[in-house]
Amino acid sequence: MIDRGATTVWERWNGVDGIPFESLPYRRIESAWRLGAGQFELSLTVPPGTTAEVALPDGSRRTAAPGRHTLRCPVP
């Protein structure tokens, strides 16, 4: 899958040996996280034409639009 440009797992395994199937990403999705001073911090980049559903460790959920984001919450 990676050899054929995938950045996620395809929904159908038969795409591995032939033509790629479904779940082909729009562009690169990036994320990184860190803990410090009782706070969780998530940095993410969402590609154009998509949104990301984010679940944070404190139980909150957020929807991130295309672009770069930094989300924070207290460490439970």
What's the confidence (pLDDT) of residue 54?
A: 96
Residues of the chain with pLDDT under 70: 1-2, 5-24
What's the confidence (pLDDT) of residue 75?
A: 92
Question: In terms of DSSP bridges, do strands 52-55 and 39-46 run parallel, antiparallel, or are they unpaired?
Answer: unpaired
Q: Which residue bears the tokens 């999705």?
A: 29
